[in-house]
Amino acid sequence: MRYEADDSGAAGRLESDRLAAAHDAGNDNERRGAARHRVALVSCFRPRRCGIATFAADLHDHLREQRPDIALDIYPLEPGAPGAEPDSERGDPSAPRAISADDLASYRRAAEAIAASKADIVWIQHEFGIFGGPAGAHILGLVEHVAAPLVVTFHTLLSDPTADQRHVMDRLVARAARLVVMNEFGRRLLIDHYGAAPDRIAVIEHGTPDRPFRLRSPLRDQLGLGDRPILSTFGLLGPGKGLETAVRALPAIAATQPDVLYRIVGATHPNLVAHEGETYRDSLVALAERLGVADNIAWDNRFLDPAELVGQIELCDIFIAPYPNLAQISSGTLAYAIALGRAAIATPFVHARELLGEENGLIVPPGDSDALAEAVVTLLAVPEERERLQRRAYARGRSTTWPVIARAYGALLSAAADRGRSAVRIDRARPSLAGLAALCDDTGLLQHAIGPVPDRNHGYCSDDNARALILVNTLGAEDIGKGPPARGQTSPLAYRFAAFLQHAWNEEAGQFRNFMAYDRRWLEASGSEDSNGRILWALGHCARHARSPDLRAWAADWFARSSGMAAHFQSPRAHAFAMIGADHRLAAAPGDGAARKILEQGAAFLHRAWKKASSADWRWFEPVLAYDNARLCEAMLRAGRTLPSLPYAETGLSALAWLQEKQTAPRGHFRPVGSEGFGRAHLILPFDQQPLEAAATIDACAIAEQISREGAWRAHAERAFGWFFGANDRGCVLADAVGGRCFDGLTPHGVNSNSGAESTLAYHLARAAMAAGFWQGGSAAAGIEGDDPPHRSEWSRTRPAMGHPAA
């Protein structure tokens, strides 16, 4: 893929200026106050010697000077074998934590440290070669575990990446809140090749020193160089520098300027030394000997610190960047040379085309020693032209000085952090049911939406119609979109949802179907165990809570008819859903043997799973977490209340306490288990977050408060409900009480703007559970009205309250 770059870096300068100006007005006040934001900077860092480390250290130092309201914690990348000690002090009181580049576990530990630090932003300096794993994939082990907004500065972008490189790039682009590139070419590459959203990309150029302009460096006299013409190339040596082109140009240059001196300053790249030693440098020395220009070259085989590098660049008349890789998007030494007012000659690599445009330097073809020699000879022979280039270069460099760049980054980091900070106003109002009504038709409830508009392409599912039946009975049979029916009358929608479930029954399979196309074709012979368990839940709930006796009788009949399938369930959630339905059925009919059997068998199944999978640091029923997790706890709590002679309630409380510990962010807000981690053993990831988890948590906490009589559960439930209204990792409101809708989830970039049935129902059910269980002074879960039912009262009198860790 070919990209044509602009002939200037104007876009980058404008972006830098705009971002820097955004916070200038408030900087004076911020300097006098404490840090407003905490940033975790993940990068190579001093004392490591490489370009990324130098860049990060320079930027760190200038950010601290320009924006003392931003606290920077350094997480430096260090070469190291797996298992190396991850903690490493670097003399900074902010206690940086080192990451052993080749140790995947080290990235996980760093993510945990970042979370514990309550960082507002995670900022990564990205270069494929500094991270371990295929194409540096180990960095994803950190990225996927942090919930704070991610900012990535790209030092290399490839238009033709390998499969491994593409994987890493796609994950970073998908996850990052802001992507930073150093020129307009990089911006277009991210958009065109990697599909990045333009509004998430910032162009901020490579920072440079802020020094007075000097035509002649005093260091010349100190080194005894006098007025000898000096050419220079700086940086870590390797074949990517193209220095053989410059060496081959020297005979032609020396023919007109015999005393010319080409200073090659920089150590050989350590990775190259590790694999090949000094083979490349030795080949250049041999080439110079063969061409008879060895005396015109001075080798300075050192890694220079930034201050010394500046002096060395000022020493030269002409800076040469003969790089053969024309896709190179950044060159720190070229940026330095321009900012220090040196005449520059470069091949047309990406950064050079943008930086040297507008007559700020000269461009020569790659590998063309004759063209390079001609350009050098011209500039040395015409001092006026050389000085003109130097002054234009210096003027161009004023927009890239470190103070300017630091202010731009400071504005970007603050804006990214502030975006997730907003006043949380929890709306307790009973939400309108119009949003749910919009998802309904004569068949039932459509399962998906595009934005707020129902998506007929995906039809219906029994799962959602079961939830909807629970909701209309929980809300007292209020007719969706038409106001309340007469007292004691059942909502017509209750019959519609019930009819959908009834039609889902497959007599041959002895199970319910789940998915139905929009044209009313069933798409399967039987649905998943989980969907069948949820239908049993809806039937048991309806058998107790339907307003009309006829609908209660219908539900009781269907519960009895289909209850036998629960004996074959192997899914923990299917058992939990069926147990919740059975518990509701027993509340209305304590002698229902089928319901009691479901509760007993399901509780025994979950308890065995608990004993098998649970450990000191993983107190759960499975080695994985999935969706609707708190329903497993709720089911065990209900079983323990109904079957008080067995330790099921203690298991439910212990599991729920552990789950809430894992679902509470360091800042104290609710962070539901993210769907990205579903099914991955002993792994909890923060995104994507689903409304279903918040609703399940509230129901479970309501039951836990009844049983343990501990007020801490109310605090957990309030946090979970607050998640709908912005008390979350992105400060985003998901629920709309006026429209009666709920967004489908919380992503690293904000809300998923679709409003499907599952999410909208979760919000309505969560609000109903809060009203019934906490706000109205009751102690019942959603769908449980009034005092404890008879089959529970004896347990309540005899079972002592059980403790729970403080919230």
* Whether residue 25 has pLDDT greater than 50: no
Question: Residue 420: what pLDDT?
Answer: 65
Phi then psi for residue 298, to 5 deg, are: -120, 125
**Which CATH architecture fits 10-207+406-419?**
3-Layer(aba) Sandwich (3.40)
Confidence of residue 51 (pLDDT cuts 50, 70, 90): confident
* Token pair 């445009």: residue: 357
200-to-11, 43, 728 alpha-carbon distances in Å: 15, 21, 21
Question: Residue 239: what pLDDT?
Answer: 84
496-to-126, 456, 541, 784 alpha-carbon distances in Å: 55, 18, 16, 23
Q: What is the mean pLDDT of residues 432-445?
A: 94
Question: Residue 490: what pLDDT?
Answer: 65
* Least confident stretch, 23-27, 103-107, 340-344: 23-27
Domain map (residue ranges) of the chain: 10-207+406-419, 219-387, 434-798
**Which H or E run contains 365?**
none
For domain 219-387, the CATH class is: alpha beta
Question: Residue 768: what pLDDT?
Answer: 95
* Least confident stretch, 148-157, 267-276, 428-437, 729-738: 267-276
Measure the CA–CA gap between 427 and 633, rounded to whole angstroms. Answer: 27
Question: Residue 656: what pLDDT?
Answer: 97
* Least confident stretch, 55-64, 271-280, 512-521, 601-610: 271-280
Q: What is the mean pLDDT of residues 163-179?
A: 96
Torsion-angle region of 92 (φ positive above 0: left; ψ -120 to 50: alpha; else: beta): beta
* Whether residue 763 has pLDDT greater than 50: yes
Confidence of residue 257 (pLDDT cuts 50, 70, 90): very high
Same fold, 219-387 and 434-798: no
Question: Residue 34: what pLDDT?
Answer: 65
417-to-121, 161, 201 alpha-carbon distances in Å: 6, 31, 16
Share above pLDDT 70 across residues of the chain, in percent, rounded to a whole number: 88
Contact 23, 410 (CB under 8 A): yes
Measure the CA–CA gap between 706 and 717, rounded to whole angstroms. Answer: 13
Instruction: List pLDDT tens digits, range 662-705.
Output: 999 999 999 999 999 898 999 999 999 999 999 999 999 999 99
Q: What is the mean pLDDT of the chain?
A: 86
Question: Residue 777: what pLDDT?
Answer: 52
Secondary structure class of 321 (helix, strand, coil): strand
Confidence of residue 326 (pLDDT cuts 50, 70, 90): confident
Burial zone of 776 (CB within 10 Å; 0-12 exposed, 13-18 middle, 19+ buried): exposed
Instruction: List pLDDT tens digits, range 368-381.
Output: 999 999 999 999 99
* Whether residue 411 has pLDDT greater than 80: yes
DSSP string, 130-198: GS-SGGGGGGHHHHTT--S-EEEEES---SS--HHHHHHHHHHHHH-SEEEESSHHHHHHHHHHH---G
Question: Residue 331: what pLDDT?
Answer: 85
* Least confident stretch, 127-136, 224-233, 415-424: 415-424
Q: Residue 57: CB partners within 8 Å, gap ≥ 6? A: 45, 46, 306
Share above pLDDT 90 across residues of the chain, in percent, rounded to a whole number: 70
Torsion-angle region of 555 (φ positive above 0: left; ψ -120 to 50: alpha; else: beta): alpha
Q: Residue 151: CB partners within 8 Å, gap ≥ 6? A: 121, 122, 123, 124, 176, 177, 178, 179, 180, 412, 413, 416
Cis peptide before 688 (omega within 30 of 0): yes
Q: Residue 58: CB partners within 8 Å, gap ≥ 6? A: 207, 306, 402
Could you tell me how many helices (H) and strands (E) the chain has, helices first?
Answer: 29, 23
* Whether residue 33 has pLDDT greater than 60: no
Q: What is the mean pLDDT of residues 440-451?
A: 96
Burial zone of 705 (CB within 10 Å; 0-12 exposed, 13-18 middle, 19+ buried): buried
Confidence of residue 776 (pLDDT cuts 50, 70, 90): confident
Higher pLDDT, 577 or 218: 577
CA angle 423, 426, 430 (to 5 degrees): 150
Instruction: List pLDDT tens digits, range 327-384.
Output: 777 788 899 899 999 999 999 988 899 888 878 899 999 999 999 999 999 999 999 9
User: Residue 485 CB: number of other CB atoms within 10 A?
Assistant: 16
Sign, Cα dihedral of 755, 757, 763, 767: positive
Question: Residue 90: what pLDDT?
Answer: 41
Q: What is the mean pLDDT of residues 392-420?
A: 92
Question: Residue 30: what pLDDT?
Answer: 39
Instruction: List pLDDT tens digits, range 623-669.
Output: 999 999 999 999 999 999 999 878 899 999 999 999 999 999 999 99
Q: In terms of DSSP bridges, do strands 745-747 and 741-742 run parallel, antiparallel, or are they unpaired?
A: unpaired
Q: What is the mean pLDDT of residues 120-130?
A: 94
Beta strands in 17-120 (DSSP E): 37-43, 70-78, 99-100
Question: Residue 650: what pLDDT?
Answer: 94
* Whether residue 717 has pLDDT greater than 70: yes
First-to-final CA distance of the chain: 55
State the number of CA atoms in the 13 A half-sphere of 474 facing the CB.
31
Sign, Cα dihedral of 303, 306, 307, 311: positive
Burial zone of 724 (CB within 10 Å; 0-12 exposed, 13-18 middle, 19+ buried): buried
* CATH of region 434-798: 1.50.10.10
pTM for the model:
0.80
Q: What is the mean pLDDT of residues 545-566?
A: 96
User: Residue 272 CB: number of other CB atoms within 10 A?
Assistant: 19
Q: What is the mean pLDDT of residues 254-266?
A: 93
**Which H or E run contains 107?**
helix 104-116
Question: Residue 784: what pLDDT?
Answer: 33
